[in-house]
Structure 1
Amino acid sequence: MPSKFKPTAIAAAAAVLVIAVVATGIVSRRSHADQLQRSTSERAIPTVALLTPAPAAADALELPARIEAWSRAPIYARVSGYLQKWNVDIGTPVKAGQTLAIIETPDQDQQLLQAKAELATARSNLVLAKSTAERWQDLLEAKAVSNQEVDERVGDYAAKKSNVEALQANVQRLSTLQRYSRLVAPFDGVVTARNTDVGNLISVGGAAGSELFVVSDLRKLRVYVNVPQRQLARIQPGSKAQITVPERPGQEFTATVQSLAQAISASSGTMLVQLAVDNQDGALVPGAFANARFDSAGASDAVSVPPGSLIVGKNGVQVATVDGSSKVRLQPVTIARDLGNAVQLAGLAPGVRVIANPPDGVANGDPVRVAK
């Protein structure tokens, strides 16, 4: 039986089928390529988290401090001898002029007696020399003696007079030194050191550590703080600070800045600042270590961001912000203060959107996707 289909028809149908299969494969492959390209493009756009910089909060500057007496007077010996007795011990309040101790000075007493005896002898010789000079001047008027002899007698009188004046000055010196056998308080205060005892040999001297007593005025104290150069702008005469000491937890003492050294120490990079604190109740003691806290508001144009938001490179310090079209804009900033877990910046508006952790190589105009 002859076939109903011709060979040409079968070939045409096969060709159509092949073309359909090829076209389907091309369309499918192109669809997959477009989808892959779109996926790759989407993955090339980084997803970032944003934060809004907060205004810099008020902060405090805390520094170690040293407390000293407002007035401190080491009492040294001006005469040599032995300590006869002392009247006050450490911690004793004293008044100005009050006797602290008495030094027995046998050698100086004998020197004073000897000086007085020499003065008495010199005065007797002076009286004789005066009367002799006067008699010889009378004889000169009578032409009984020569001018040379009279001049010798007058010169002898002048020499003895000068000797009397010298001996008188020596007696006054020894008498003045004898008054220093009594050690007295120079002002109202408290005895904070006693480094002698009855019978001790006392020598004249003013070397450090050889003082017999130390009297300190504790009604008002000085507080010394070394302030870093970066923080000096916030410290001015009249500024207030809160002083705390470890032996009185929870208690604060208000101190006032009195003066600044007006010079930076080359070794530490700090300036010495002196404060005054009232101590009428005696709660603070000189020589103690303390903490000084200077309360100060943050800069009005400063904002605070985490340290991870900063980009540090050849262009300085920058932050990456995101505009309304989700494009990156790099903005230079200045670090006002590093607090460790936060950085205060100047030159950044509070309302901008900042990338919390900018990706490596981010540049101006790069698109980003904001994380929900």
Structure 2
Amino acid sequence: MNGDSSGEFVAAPGVTAEAERARSHRRRPLALLGLAVVAGALGLGIYSGIRARSAADTALRQTTAEAAISAVNVVSPKPGEPTREVQLPGTTQAFTDAPIFARTSGYLKRWYFDIGAHVKEGQLLAEIDAPEVDQQLQQARADLETAQANLRQAQITADRWQALLESDSVSKQETDQAVSTLSATKATVDSNAANVRRLEQLQGFEKIHAPFDGVITARNTDIGALIDAGSATAGRELFHMAAIHRLRVFVAVPEVYSRAARSGASATLTLDEFPGRTFHGTLVRNANAIDLASRTLLVEVDVDNPQGELLPGAYVFVHLQLPREIPSVTVPANTLLFRAEGLQVGVVRNGQAQLVPVTVGHDYGTTVEILTGLQPTDQVIVAPSDSLTSGTRVRIAGAPPPGTGK
């Protein structure tokens, strides 16, 4: 029994070692799997961290790049009108304006019309009392009758001497003297007749008539006033008349707008006393020469005034239409850049700013006319920075940033 017991005791350790090895073999794959899981988790963590940092760096670079691109506001140029209106000041003048002077001396007997009166051609305006002229006319008529009587006597004498000459009853010398006396008497009659006509005309000037249809704008005399003939004495005009059925407007057109001063062209007039109303006129003539002192072209515009609404001497604005020979556009005035190279504007092309030289035409205040350098399809930068240069990357304000896909 002792031997059996010792055999069992010896066999027990072998069985245990075998079991331990079996268990070790079973635990090794599990350990390797655990190590693999841990290594995978660690690698995944490292990869995720590196990827997140790379994405953050990329986003930061993109944000920085986008922040470096300036946002600008743009405007599209507006096409110019086919014609441009030029507004120039002018003054209305009566179509016919004349002072009325006396052609004979005397005293004013009576006057019939005062200022503001509308008169017709030939109407009697005033009468002058000139007794000296009347007496001179009577004397001249008497002298004419005397000369005519002498002429008749000279005619009879000349005829008689010529008849006697045929029978040689008188000499040729005496007959020639009689004929010469007849000729001299005829000349005396003609002279006296001319003097009578002259005095009759002077007497006719005692009545002052209106030379044309118009309105009396001034009366500078009164009953009993001494009247001096002629216009040599300043301030002695009796009346002043103006024809206002049509008015003239003389306008000084600057040389740069002289192309608008074409004879036959239409023009419109506006006056401050007629707000909202326009009057139409016609450009009838121009001086065809530039004034050297003012560099302007004198133009006459005629305006019909049948109702007499427009008054001579009124201040008016004359609107002339100037055709455009060069197509133009208009842009806001705050788009201009004043550089040493001249006037420029910034335009956005392919995401970059480009500085374009331009030629300015008319300045309208808040906007300016651009003759060359821009097209209606351009995108012009509003209020550009003074440091803006060609090639600078810009983006239009309100547009999605590039690369967003929106």
Q: Return the TM-score normalized by structure 1.
A: 0.78
Q: How does 1:257-336 map to 2 (within 5 A)?
A: 257-294=283-320, 301-311=327-337, 317-328=343-354, 330-336=355-361
- Are residues 1:242 and 2:268 paired? yes
Deviation string, structure 1 residues 325-360 (Cα, Å, up to 9, x no partner): 5152x4343222122332101122111123445555
Tell me how far apart the structure 2 counterparts of residues 51 and 252 of structure 1 sit (CA, whole Å).
35
- Residue 234 of structure 1: CA displacement? 3.5
- Are residues 1:162 and 2:191 paired? no
Q: Which residue of structure 2 aligns with residue 104 of structure 1?
A: 129
Tell me how far apart the structure 1 counterparts of residues 192 and 255 of structure 2 sit (CA, whole Å).
61
- Residue 51 of structure 1: CA displacement? 3.5
Tell me how far apart the structure 2 counterparts of residues 235 and 93 of structure 1 sit (CA, whole Å).
34
Tell me how far apart the structure 2 counterparts of residues 281 and 302 of structure 1 sit (CA, whole Å).
41
Deviation string, structure 1 residues 223-280 (Cα, Å, up to 9, x no partner): 2222222223334344444323333344433333333332222222222222232322
Q: CA RMSD in A?
A: 3.1
Which entry has the higher C-alpha Rg, 1 or 2? Answer: 2
* Maintained 8 Å contact 1:311/1:319: yes
Q: Which residue of structure 2 aligns with residue 53 of structure 1?
A: 77
Aligned pair in 2 of structure 1 residues 353, 102: CA closer, same or farther (>3 Å)?
same
Tell me how far apart the structure 2 counterparts of residues 237 and 210 of structure 1 sit (CA, whole Å).
39
- Residue 48 of structure 1: CA displacement? 5.7
- Are residues 1:226 and 2:242 paired? no
Q: Which residue of structure 2 aligns with residue 138 of structure 1?
A: 163
Determine what percentage of the aligned residue pairs are the same residue. 41
Structure 1 stretches of 5 or more lacking a match? 1-34
Q: Which residue of structure 1 aligns with residue 4 of structure 2?
A: none
Tell me how far apart the structure 1 counterparts of residues 90 and 72 of structure 2 sit (CA, whole Å).
46
- Residue 153 of structure 1: CA displacement? 1.8
* Maintained 8 Å contact 1:225/1:272: yes
Task: Describe the SS at the equivalent of 2:352.
Answer: coil
Tell me how far apart the structure 2 counterparts of residues 127 and 234 of structure 1 sit (CA, whole Å).
73
Aligned pair in 2 of structure 1 residues 300, 145: CA closer, same or farther (>3 Å)?
closer
Task: Describe the SS at the equivalent of 2:191.
Answer: helix
* Maintained 8 Å contact 1:62/1:293: yes
Q: Which residue of structure 2 aligns with residue 254 of structure 1?
A: 280
Q: Which residue of structure 1 aligns with residue 88 of structure 2?
A: 63
Structure with greater helix share of residues: 2
- Residue 303 of structure 1: CA displacement? 1.1
1:131 partner letter: I
Task: Describe the SS at the equivalent of 1:263.
Answer: strand
Structure 2 stretches of 5 or more lacking a match? 1-59, 398-406
Q: Which residue of structure 1 aligns with residue 174 of structure 2?
A: 149
| 1:212 equivalent among 217, 238, 243 | 238
Tell me how far apart the structure 2 counterparts of residues 299 and 157 of structure 1 sit (CA, whole Å).
81
Q: How does 1:111-122 map to 2 (within 5 A)?
A: 111-122=136-147
* Maintained 8 Å contact 1:56/1:299: no
Q: Return the TM-score normalized by structure 2.
A: 0.72
In the comparison of the two structures, how many residue pairs are matched?
Answer: 332
Q: Which residue of structure 2 aligns with residue 76 of structure 1?
A: 101
* Maintained 8 Å contact 1:47/1:368: no
2:359 partner letter: T
Q: Which residue of structure 1 aligns with residue 16 of structure 2?
A: none
Task: Describe the SS at the equivalent of 2:290.
Answer: coil
Tell me how far apart the structure 1 counterparts of residues 295 and 169 of structure 2 sit (CA, whole Å).
88
Task: Describe the SS at the equivalent of 2:103.
Answer: coil
Tell me how far apart the structure 2 counterparts of residues 203 and 81 of structure 1 sit (CA, whole Å).
7
The farther-off stretch of 174-183 and 297-306 is 297-306
Tell me how far apart the structure 2 counterparts of residues 338 and 352 of structure 1 sit (CA, whole Å).
20
1:214 partner letter: H
Q: How does 1:19-58 map to 2 (within 5 A)?
A: 50-56=74-80
- Residue 362 of structure 1: CA displacement? 6.2
- Residue 314 of structure 1: CA displacement? 6.8
2:249 partner letter: V
Tell me how far apart the structure 1 counterparts of residues 95 and 187 of structure 2 sit (CA, whole Å).
48
- Residue 134 of structure 1: CA displacement? 2.2
Task: Describe the SS at the equivalent of 1:367.
Answer: coil
Tell me how far apart the structure 2 counterparts of residues 272 and 165 of structure 1 sit (CA, whole Å).
51
Aligned pair in 2 of structure 1 residues 299, 307: CA closer, same or farther (>3 Å)?
farther
- Residue 313 of structure 1: CA displacement? 6.1
- Are residues 1:350 and 2:382 paired? no
Higher relative contact order (CA 8 A, sep 6+): 1
- Residue 114 of structure 1: CA displacement? 1.4
